[in-house]
A and B are shown apart, each in its own frame.
Chain A
Amino acid sequence: MRGMNFNFLCGEPPRPNGRNVGIIGAGPSGLAAAGLLSCQGYQVEVYDKLPKPGGLMLFGIPGHRIPKERIETGTRRMAKRYGVIYHTRTKVCCSAPLHEEEGDHFCADMRGLADLLEKHEAIIICSGSWKSRRLGIPGESLPGVYAGIQFLFPIRAVQYTAPNVKVPDVVGKRVMVIGAGHSAVDVAHSALSLGAAEVCMVYRRSRKEAPCGTYEIQRLEDMGVRWRELTTPMRFLGQDTVEGVEVSEKVVDEQGAMVERTTVIPAEVVVTAIGEIATPPFAKELGLENVRRGEVRWLNMTAIENVFVAGDALSGPSKIGKAVYSGLRAARSLANWLDLKAQNRQHEFTGDLMARSPEPTGSHGAV
């Protein structure tokens, strides 16, 4: 299988330009940035906490959706032909304590940002969004309650030996999936194929409002998944391990009126697939709090000179396409910045506006 061509912007590898940049995170945005910069002659080194480059494309999204060969061939090609170096199992620390996020299991090495800044002329942070959003209701810490990536990550990661990576045991169990986005669909799918006895999907709004769409819901129902809409989890029940979920569901009574009632849905495994949160290192020092989430904000230099940020780390959880685009633009901006700096013309750098000026507009590029 042909790989993703991260070096799609050039043909033959260019002559080295003598510059060295570091990229933190080998997901879609980091790899896209590495592709652009290695096409322009940069020596690129990519750091990632996982044992292989690819990020959530390899470790989050199931293999029947993104074939792993497509990622592996692409990243290998970038290393062999364009000289990109991957430092896997390496975490650049840290806004959160180690072993707090999915994927930290693999880390064998930790580097500080200052070390990286000494080694590289510039850095792009593409660390993505690895922390799961939680419901914040009682019982959420009971064994048997998983968050979305917490459930999906080990299924792909188990092939790389690491302590504490274990595929969730769902065989013969009743599994409840909370949420109706694409990762909720992936969780339901995976639970079925891992041998769950029953899978039910619980969503607080209606089928028509589900982010994954009615077609995906229909497909899951055809496979035997039970869909329960207008149903909000209130608390997780159980002593030593989860045994069920108390939910509040809206139903139509005999008079045809919508009423709310409380019921208990038994389940031995519950997965809350309600989205992720970005976990950029050094969010405060980099001035990332100035960035509004969920907008198409592209590339940019942070409050620290020579440090750029892209992808989910910048704009919150999104789609692969947006992450790729953000990585490409950040890489282009970095190259512009270094070119101007080499000529002592930094003041002409415009890039864009984020975190460079207290005024939202009006001082474009004037530092």
Chain B
Amino acid sequence: MSETKKLSVNYAACIGCETCEYVCRFANETPRIHMARTRSGLMVPLYCHHCEDPHCVKVCKQGAIVVDAQGVVLLNTMLCRGCDSRQCIQACPYAAMFETDKGVMLAKCDLCAARRRAGLEPACAEMCPTGAILYAVPETLKKAETPESLAAVERVLAHIRGK
């Protein structure tokens, strides 16, 4: 299993306060984690899971989405041409590719690459008031799962996938 730390939001603990989105905005100008409201009024931050076998990488014809040596899924803005087909947005099972009005008109989480280079951790996890955002190796994230958190993920995914 990968040794790279990734993000995981415990939707059962999240209170929808939007701190993650706003500190991401402060750190990265365009936020890469977004608060969505489900039909039943749940506030849920959508974010990149840095999948082991990412669909977004497969569908991008420009090869602009790559997986780096650590398993972090990165958008290469030099290759992305902000194409109209928006296949990466459609392919993401977590609705975590965000259309913007800046640059290549696409934003995605790079686990705060610039911060990691400076020895810091992703801003959203650092500042979450509830501690709902974990940044840890997959094994630790797996151990932190509870029946409540798994049920909450199911509710969120059902919303994203329109069921």
Q: Which residues of A contact B (CB under 8 A)?
A: 1-2, 4-6, 8-11, 28, 32, 57, 61, 65-67, 70-71, 182, 210-216, 218, 319-322, 324-325, 328-329
Contacts and interface: CB of A to CB of B under 8 A. Distances in A.
Contact of A213 (B17, B23, B37): B37
B22 A215 contact: no
Interface stretch (B60-68, B90-98, B126-134): B126-134
A27 to B, nearest CB: 11
11 contacts: A4-B128, A11-B119, A65-B130, A66-B129, A66-B130, A215-B41, A215-B42, A215-B155, A216-B41, A320-B17, A324-B23
A216 to B, nearest CB: 6
A65 B35 CA distance: 17
Given A213-B41, A215-B38, A215-B42, A320 B18 contact: yes
A61 B129 CA distance: 11
Nearest to B35: A321
Given A11-B118, A212-B41, A4 B18 contact: no
Contact of B40 (A5, A70, A214, A320): A214
A364 to B, nearest CB: 20
Nearest to A326: B22
Contacts of A70: 129-131
Interface of B: 15-23, 25-27, 35, 37-43, 118-121, 123, 126-131, 155
A67 B131 CA distance: 8
Nearest to A6: B127
B42 A321 contact: no
B22 A322 contact: yes
Given A213-B37, A213-B41, A215-B42, A324 B126 contact: no
Which of A8, A182, A218 gathers the greatest number of chain B CB atoms within 10 Å?
Answer: A8
Given A213-B42, A321-B20, A4 B37 contact: no
A76 B43 CA distance: 30
Nearest to B13: A65
B131 A321 contact: no
Given A6-B127, A67-B131, A319-B16, 10 more contacts: A8-B121, A8-B126, A32-B127, A65-B130, A71-B129, A213-B40, A213-B41, A214-B41, A218-B40, A325-B26
Given A61-B15, A215-B42, A324 B37 contact: no
Contacts of B39: 214
A65 B17 CA distance: 11
A5 B126 contact: yes
Which of B20, B35, B130 gathers the greatest number of chain A CB atoms within 10 Å?
Answer: B130
Contacts of B127: 4-6, 8, 32, 324
